[in-house]
Amino acid sequence: MTTPLVAMHDVNIRFNTTRGWGYAVTAVSADVRANTVTAIIGESGSGKSVLGAAVMGLLPNNAEASGSITYAGLELLGLTDREWDQIRGIELGWVAQNPASSLNPVYRIDELISEAAIHRRRIRRRDKRRFAADLLTKVGLPAATGRNYSFELSGGMAQRALIAVGIGLDPPLLILDEPTKGLDPANYDRIRDAIMDLAGEGHTIMLITHDVTLAEQVADEIWVLYGSRLVEQAPKQDFFATPLHPYSQGLLAAMPSRGLHPIPGESPSFFVPPEGCPFVDRCPYAVAACHELKTPSHPTEGRSVLCLLH
Amino acid sequence: MSRDSALRIAAGMLIAVAAMSLLAPVIAPASPIAVDMSLRNAPPSSAHWLGTDTLGRDVASRVIYGGRGALAISFGATLISMVIGIALGSLAGWFGKFTDTAIQVFMSIFQGLPGLTISIAIVGVMGASNLSISVAMVATGWSGISRVVRSQIRNLRNEQFVEAAKVYLPAPGYLIVRHLLPLTMPTLVVLATQRMGRMILMIASLSFIGVGLQPPTPDWGVMIQDGRQYFAQQPWALLGPAVMLFIASFSVARLGELLRDRWDTFSDDAMAVR
C-alpha cells in the first residue's frame, strides 16, 4: 500500500446560514492514493463539491471546518492565505464547475492558459501561444483555439480549455468539479479521454461527479457521499461488482443501463445534523441501531462502508 | 437618424472642437488679446468675422482660443478624477467590510457637496488659477465615479472567472486591474465623457461669475459675461462663445450617452450619478 497523497481524517464542514447551521460534510475519513483517479460520487447536496473546495482551501467565509486534511503530509485545514498561495494552483489544480463563466470573457484562451505560468513559472510572454498550444493539444483541442474568446467556444470546448488552464502549472493533484455536466455524448467522450490521459501522465485526480458511468469508466477508487457522509469507499471493480451500502445499491439500480429504478423517499435535510446513517429513512434494511451508527466498518482490505449489514 | 450616424456626428463635433482649440494659433485670424481702441464694437466684416468687442478685440479669434483653458482643465481633471475614483471604488468594492464603510463615508461627504457652490468656495480660498479650478473639478468629480466603480467591482468579484483566477494568481491588485477593471471599461468611458461635459459647463459657470478663468484670458465663460452687457448692440460677442460652449459640452455629453446606449452596460443607478 502506497502512502496517501491526500489523507482525510474525521472531516466535518458546516455552514453558518441565516436558517441555522447547515451540515455539508460529516465525519469523512478516507485517503487518496498517489497516481490514482478517485471519483467522488453523490447527488446534489451530498457534500462532494464542498469536500473538493475544502481540499483547495476555497470554502466560503461562512464555512467551519474541523478534522484533518493533509496533502503529502502537510495539514491543509488552518493554512493562512499566504500559505495557500504557495500550494494552490502549484500543488493542487482546480477545474471549477461551469466552464463558460469560469473563463474571463475579455481575454483570449491562450492568455488565460499561460497567465499563471507567466507569473509563477517564468514563461516568457512571447512564448505564451506555444505554451498554450501544448496544453490545448493535451486536452484534445486544436491549437488555434487559443486565439478564441471563451464565449466563442461550445460548452465542451470551454470545459477542455478550462482543464488546460487548470493544468497550466502542472499540479500533481487535480480536482475536477463536475467536468461532464451538461455535455453532449461526443464532448463527453473527449472529456473522459482527456481525464484518462491526465491520469496516464501521473496526475492524481479527484473527480467530483454525479455521473456514475463516468466514474465507472475512469476511476480507480470510488467514494460515495450521501447526506454529508461518506457511506462507501471501495476500489472500482469491487464497488461495481458488489456495492455494499444500500444507497450504493440504489444508486447503481437507478442507472439507465441497470433499469432506472428510483430510490423511494427524499434526501435528508441540510439543516438536520446527521446522527448515524443518513440513509436510514429510505433504507429497506433499516433498524433502530442505524440511527446511532458513527463509524464505518471495513469488510475487506481497502474498503469501508457505513452500514451495520457489513 | 440611426444611432451610428448620431454617434459619428457627436464624435465629429468633438474632434472639430478639440482640433480648433489645439490649432488655435494657426487658425485664428488675429491675436485674441490684441486691443484696438480705434475699432471698438465693430460689426462682423471680412476682417473680423464676428466683429470686435468693446476693447476692439477680434471676437472670432477669441472664440477660437476660448475653449483651450476649459477643455484642457476639464480633460486633465477628468483623468485625475477617474484615477482617484477607480482606485477608491475598487478598494471599497473588493475588500468590503471596514474598508468599504470607511471609503463610503468619505465618498458620501464629497457626494453630498453641492458642486458649483463648493467649487466657488475652493477657487475663492485658493485664488482663481488653473490649479484651483482643477482642484475644484476633481473634488466634485471623483466621488460619483468611485461609487459606480465600487458597485461594478462588487458585482464582478463574485463572478466565477474571478474565483478561478484567484486560485492561480491571488494578489488582489492583480485581480482587480487585470480581471475586473477591463470589464468595467465601457462604463468607465461613458462616465468619463459625461463627467468631462459637465466640467466644461462648470468651468464656464465659474468664469461667468468671475471666479474662474480670468480676463484677459480668452474663455467662453468670460466672453459670455463680457458680452452680456452689450448684447443689444453686439449680439455676436455673446452668441459666438455661447454657441461654441454649447457645441463642446453637448458633443462630449452626447457622445457618452450614445456610447452608453451602444454598449448597453449602464444601469439606471449609475445614470443617477451627478
Domain ranges across chain A = 4-34+45-91+172-179+210-305
Task: Name the nearest CA neighbour of A206 among A307, A115, A71, A67.
Answer: A71
**Owning domain of residue B22:** 3-271
CATH code of B62's domain: 1.10.3720.10
> Three cell numbers at B31?
491675436
pLDDT of residue B273: 42
pLDDT of residue A204: 93
Alpha-carbon distance of A299 to B47, in angstroms, equals: 108
Q: What is the mean pLDDT of each run of 10 residues along chain B (274 residues)?
A: 79 90 84 78 77 81 87 93 93 88 88 84 87 91 90 87 80 85 86 89 88 82 86 84 90 84 56 41
**Contact, A52 vs A40, CB < 8 A?**
yes
Alpha-carbon distance of B234 to B228, in angstroms, equals: 9
Q: For A205-245, what is each residue's pLDDT tens digit? A: 999 998 888 999 999 999 999 888 899 999 999 999 888 99
In CATH terms, is domain A4-34+45-91+172-179+210-305 a member of 1.10.260.30?
no
Average pLDDT over residues A98-123: 84
> How many domains does chain B fold into?
1
Which residues of chain A does B164 touch, with a Cβ-Cβ cutoff of 8 Å?
94, 96, 102-103, 162, 165
pLDDT of residue B266: 46
CB contact under 8 A, A102 and B161: yes
Q: For A34-52, what is each residue's pLDDT tens digit? A: 889 999 998 887 888 899 9
ipTM score: 0.73
Where is average pLDDT lowest: A180-189, A268-277, B133-142, B217-226?
A268-277
What are A's interface residues with B at a Cβ cutoff of 8 A?
56, 58, 81, 84-85, 88-89, 94, 96-98, 101-106, 115-116, 119-120, 162, 165, 168-169
> Three cell numbers at B136?
475644484
Residues paired with A63 in a beta bridge? A15
pLDDT confidence tier of residue A2, bands split at 50, 70 and 90: low
Task: Return the higher-pLDDT residue of A56 and B271.
Answer: A56
Which class for B80: exposed (0-12), middle (13-18), buried (19 or more C-beta within 10 A)? middle
Q: For B181, which residue in chain A has the nearest alpha carbon? A: A106
Share of chain A above pLDDT 90, in %: 15
Whether pTM > 0.90 for this model: the answer is: no
CB contact under 8 A, B170 and A81: yes
